[in-house]
Amino acid sequence: MTGWVILIVLAAVIGVGLARFGRFPRGGVELLGAALLLALAGYAWQGQPGLAGRPTPPRADVARANSDYGALRETMFERFTGDAQVLTTADAFQRQGLDLYAIGVLRGALVRRPRSADLWVGMGNALVAHADGLVTPAAELAFARAAKASPLHPGPPFFLGLAYAGSGQFDRARDAWAGLLARTPANAPWRADLALRVRALDALLASDATR
């Protein structure tokens, strides 16, 4: 009943206000009254004024913390290029949990630059994030496209290994990282971190083997 009272009062206030202060042509007030009556009829037909009020629950916070991918990407990729700007934009969407937007941004950029290893790595990472950390066949294909586009680029095997490690596939992560370590120059800025990761996985896999 309260819903009806509120609706009638609002309709009356709107009708009086518009009729008094609005400028209508001849017959306009009658049309206004008809429109308000039509609104009331529609509410009577489809409305449910007897339902108890219930506040909308707050939206869950889906924002993510900065990932290793975002931090480590700068050591392996060019930083001041158009591809870097695209990846930064995709990262921003991913941190907000908007994975489909990130994928869309990367897909659009790949239409223009289909042989960009950086963009394909970004796509692989975005697909993994969208799958809640699982390395799907689509993500593996994106990383494979990145490696094919630039066979000597450290990004594809490194971030594929990072995705495998995040999904608990430590043996696959170890294979990807060990292969990259074997061809990484001694003065590469990411070599020390990579070697540490391989040793950590070796220790983890050895511990699992003795259980």
Q: Where residue 20 falls among pLDDT bands split at 50, 70, 90?
A: low
C-alpha distances (whole Å) from 152 to each of 31, 87, 119, 210 are: 74, 20, 15, 36
In a domain, 167, yes or no: yes
Residues 199 and 113 in one domain: yes
In a domain, 51, yes or no: no
CA distance 59 to 79: 35
Residues 116 and 193 in one domain: yes
pLDDT in tens, 95-151: 898 999 999 999 999 999 999 999 999 999 999 999 999 999 999 999 999 999 999
CB 102 within 8 A of CB 129: yes
pLDDT higher than threshold 80 for residue 46: no
Residues 39 and 74 in one domain: no
pLDDT higher than threshold 70 for residue 10: no
Residue 181 burial (CB count, 10 A): 19
pLDDT higher than threshold 60 for residue 36: no
**Percentage of residues in the chain having pLDDT higher than 70:** 67
Residues 17 and 78 in one domain: no
Residues 73 and 175 in one domain: yes
CA distance 19 to 94: 51
Domain of residue 86: give its range: 68-209
In a domain, 53, yes or no: no
Residues 22 and 97 in one domain: no
Residues 120 and 160 in one domain: yes
Which of the listed ranges 65-74, 78-87, 191-200 does the model predict with the highest average pLDDT?
A: 191-200
Residues 11 and 103 in one domain: no
CA 23 to chain centre: 49
Number of compact structural domains in the chain = 2
- What angle do the packed helices 117-130 and 137-149 form, to 10 degrees? 170
- What angle do the packed helices 99-112 and 82-95 form, to 10 degrees? 170
In a domain, 52, yes or no: no
Strands (E), the chain: none
Higher pLDDT, 165 or 49: 165
Residues 155 and 190 in one domain: yes
Residues 81 and 150 in one domain: yes
- The position carrying tokens 């950086």 is 118
CATH code (residue 175): 1.25.40.10
Q: What average pLDDT does the segment 148-171 reach?
A: 94
pLDDT in tens, 108-123: 999 999 999 999 999 9
Residues 23 and 75 in one domain: no
